[in-house]
Amino acid sequence: MAEKNKTIGILTSGGDCPGLNAAIRGVAKPAVEIYGMKVIGFSNGFQGLMEGNGRELKHDDLSGILTLGGTILGTSRESFKKLRKSPDKIQKMLDTYDKFDLDCLVILGGNGTHKTANLLSEKGLNIIGLPKTIDNDLYGTDLTFGFHSAVDIATEIIDRIHSTAQSHGRVMVIEFMGHDAGWLTLYAGIAGGADVILIPELPYSVERVIEKLRERQDEGKIFSIIAVAEGAMTIDESKMTKKDYKSYYESLPYPSMGYKVAAEIASKAAFEIRVTVPGYQQRGGQPSPYDRILATKFGTYAAQMISRDEYGKMVAISGNVLTAIPLSEIAGKLKLVPKNHRLINAGRLLNTSFGQPRQAD
Ligand code: F6P
């Protein structure tokens, strides 16, 4: 008897990023056109899976989406902490999987999403994860798609601010996304030639930042660029418990981290300072060619995995080689910037300040 053609589900979950559509296309086009599978796209992440809100994706849905930003499926955030304690919600997802007679579910997401992906895998579903996020903080993979597009955008923002900083002789603080990780700020900061780079992994001293600004003034440089990650913290703050720091930070009068850093500098030195917070621009628009390629590699690799019934894993890239890591090995782990990362060392050799105490910088 001929084997039944597979039916696979696909959804995008968590914050969006450039490259999601390229990855959907990478999985679904070969699935439909090469392997003869049926592909069901679920709307708005796990919400759509709970509600059974899925529709078949055909050739026309998958055509012309390679270069599109966002996600054609829609996305939503679903707290893993809450979900874990909601057996009804989990049951609804299992029921949808059965109702659509799925052989596998492909989940495109970041850290939180992969915890849920692992939970569903533990419940017996055939799951494949694809790593997306502009934060690049997913454990088990060197890169996530979306990251390099965001680096391009963030670098362009630094480049543009350079010229206006120079015209006015100002200190420009630019705040970048990244949650608890400094990857985006580090890469864009180095690519844009920021004078100071502040990332969560290297807690800073305001005094050292000011020293760097004064050093530049003494050299006749009339402006400075500070790239600050939204999760940056001072040395003293880094000694607080996570809970204490959260309530302390929320009690501060600043709209976001860039304003806090600017106020800390202004309280101790007389520079003319301006703050820029590019925000969601960093997640929007077309994926860069790099991300189109990475997402396409990840997606097509996933399609091949489905064809050979290889499940319970997240597709990853390690040393430029595509691979797949068991979800149980990556779920709940963060990939932060190592303190001795080569770009940090490169920055130090170029006299970039990381706001570190003297012996470390
Ligand atoms: O994970 C991507 C990201 O953009 C982070 O850099 C940022 O902290 C967060 O999402 C913002 O979340 P939201 O989209 O829920 O505002």
Ligand 1 centre to CA of 138 (Å) is: 14
Residue 262, pLDDT score? 98
Q: Is the pLDDT reported for residue 2 higher than 90? A: no
Cα–Cα distance measured from residue 182 to residue 200, given in angstroms and rounded to the nearest whole number = 6
Cα–Cα distance measured from residue 210 to residue 353, given in angstroms and rounded to the nearest whole number = 10
Give pLDDT tens digits for 268-311.
999 999 999 999 999 999 999 999 999 999 999 999 999 999 99
Query: pLDDT confidence of 358, banded at 50, 70, 90?
Result: confident
Looking at the CA of residue 230, tell me the nearest atom of ligand 1. Answer: 8
Q: Which helix (H) or strand (E) holds 202?
A: none
3-state DSSP assignment of residue 144: coil
Q: Going edge to edge, which strands form the sheet with 321-326?
A: 54-56, 38-42, 7-12, 104-109, 127-131, 313-318, 321-326
Q: Is the pLDDT reported for residue 55 higher than 60? A: yes
Instruction: Write out the two tokens for 35.
Output: 């392997």
Q: What is the mean pLDDT of residues 186-208?
A: 98
Q: Are 12 and 74 in contact (CB under 8 A)?
A: yes
| 3-class SS shares of the chain: helix, strand, coil, % to 5 | 45, 15, 40
Ligand 1 pocket test, candidate residues 137, 179, 336, most atoms within 8 A of CB: 179
| Residue 236 annotated among the catalytic residues of the structure | no
Catalytic residue among 16, 61, 135, 152: 135
Ligand 1 centre to CA of 280 (Å) is: 8
- Domain CATH for 101: 3.40.50.450
Q: What is the mean pLDDT of residues 6-22?
A: 98
* Percent of the residues in the chain that have a pLDDT greater than 90, as a whole number: 98
Which of 94, 98, 96, 99 minimizes the C-alpha distance to 120?
A: 94
Ligand 1 pocket test, candidate residues 134, 136, 186, 334, most atoms within 8 A of CB: 134
First to last CA, the chain: 68
Cα–Cα distance measured from residue 304 to residue 289, given in angstroms and rounded to the nearest whole number = 22
Instruction: Write out the two tokens for 246.
Output: 């959260």
Query: pLDDT confidence of 229, banded at 50, 70, 90?
Result: very high
Q: Is the pLDDT reported for residue 341 higher than 80? A: yes
Instruction: Write out the two tokens for 25.
Output: 């296309």
Query: pLDDT confidence of 357, banded at 50, 70, 90?
Result: confident
Cα–Cα distance measured from residue 214 to residue 196, given in angstroms and rounded to the nearest whole number = 12
Q: Which residues pair with 256 in a beta bridge?
A: none
- Domain CATH for 250: 3.40.50.460
Asked if residue 344 and residue 206 are part of one domain, the reply reads yes
Cα–Cα distance measured from residue 133 to residue 135, given in angstroms and rounded to the nearest whole number = 5
Asked if residue 130 and residue 18 are part of one domain, the reply reads yes
- Residue 189, in any domain of the structure: yes
Q: Is the CB of 150 under 6 A from ligand 1?
A: no
Q: Is the pTM of this model over 0.85?
A: yes
Cα–Cα distance measured from residue 23 to residue 301, given in angstroms and rounded to the nearest whole number = 10
Looking at the CA of residue 134, tell me the nearest atom of ligand 1. Answer: 2
Query: pLDDT confidence of 359, banded at 50, 70, 90?
Result: low
- Residue 230, in any domain of the structure: yes
Phi, psi of 162 (to 5 degrees): -50, -50
Given the DSSP bridges, would you call strands 104-109 and 7-12 parallel, antiparallel or unpaired?
A: parallel
Looking at the CA of residue 110, tell me the nearest atom of ligand 1. Answer: 1
How many structural domains is the chain composed of?
2
Asked if residue 344 and residue 216 are part of one domain, the reply reads yes
Ligand 1 centre to CA of 179 (Å) is: 7
Rg value, the chain, Cα: 22
Q: Is the CB of 231 under 6 A from ligand 1?
A: no
Mean pLDDT for all residues in the chain: 97
What angle is formed at CA 22 by the lines to CA 323 and CA 297, rounded to 5 degrees? 25
Residue 150, pLDDT score? 98
Residue 306, pLDDT score? 98
* Percent of the residues in the chain that have a pLDDT greater than 70, as a whole number: 98
> Cβ–Cβ contacts within 10 Å for residue 281, how many?
14
Asked if residue 207 and residue 75 are part of one domain, the reply reads no
Task: For residue 282, give the amino acid letter.
Answer: Q
Query: pLDDT confidence of 4, banded at 50, 70, 90?
Result: confident
Query: pLDDT confidence of 122, banded at 50, 70, 90?
Result: very high
Asked if residue 345 and residue 215 are part of one domain, the reply reads yes
Query: pLDDT confidence of 235, banded at 50, 70, 90?
Result: very high
Give pLDDT tens digits for 59-96.
999 999 999 999 999 999 999 999 999 999 999 999 99
Asked if residue 115 and residue 233 are part of one domain, the reply reads no
Residue 309, domain extent: 7-146+287-330
